[in-house]
Chains A and B, each alone.
Chain A
Amino acid sequence: KAGVTQTPRYLIKTRGQQVTLSCSPISGHRSVSWYQQTPGQGLQFLFEYFSETQRNKGNFPGRFSGRQFSNSRSEMNVSTLELGDSALYLCASSHHAGIQETQYFGPGTRLLVL
């Protein structure tokens, strides 16, 4: 079974631009979560989607948004990019949204904002 895939793998943008990242979960998984990882802050939770509905949201500004499609694929969008948005963005999927569900991570999208 194919793992979680994320596109693109690398991205360079300039301040003020917007970016859309894509995540395809493992087949059959309906829960998708997004995380931001930086050297200083570690892994920080952005949001979680289950059956096209946002179930949980982390403490990020409204510039960060996401959505999930009927096939469970998910996208996250960051508008008006700032230098501090440079990070590794990770997507993780699980069968359901239960607390003990194991989450499987994708390879990540490395975003560099200049």
Chain B
Amino acid sequence: LAKTTQPISMDSYEGQEVNITCSHNNIATNDYITWYQQFPSQGPRFIIQGYKTKVTNEVASLFIPADRKSSTLSLPRVSLSDTAVYYCLVGGRNQGGKLIFGQGTELSVKP
């Protein structure tokens, strides 16, 4: 299962665009990239998933370069309510049936 590396924390201000980059050098050919958002004492919430190029939904965009060794989650015009931990996962569940969550990126949005 591909190991992921994300910044531990990021700071931003309301109204700014936030880009969180995840490195996954060992991504396998059939691996998808998935991002979750988690607020304190709540379950992770699925944000977006992609395989290559760009994916966009009502919440975020996901940019994946051609070599797929990294991906960038883009949150447009963040608000205070976007303060959360963001996890990048690659490859879905491993053979043991479990999702492997890394440390995640703690995003703090300030007024």
**Which residues of A does B touch, CB under 8 Å?**
4, 6, 33, 35, 42-43, 45, 48, 55-56, 58, 88, 90-92, 97-108, 110
Contacts and interface: CB of A to CB of B under 8 A. Distances in A.
Contact of B41 (A45, A88, A91, A103): A88
Interface size class of B (residues with CB under 8 A): 20 to 34
A92 B43 contact: yes
Interface of B: 30-32, 34, 36, 41-46, 49, 91-99, 101, 103
- Chain B interface main SS type: loop
A23 B101 CA distance: 21
A91 B99 CA distance: 12
Given A43-B101, A90-B43, 6 more contacts: A33-B97, A43-B44, A92-B43, A101-B92, A102-B49, A104-B46
Interface centre among A42, A98, A100, A108 (most CB of B within 10 A): A100
A99 B43 contact: no
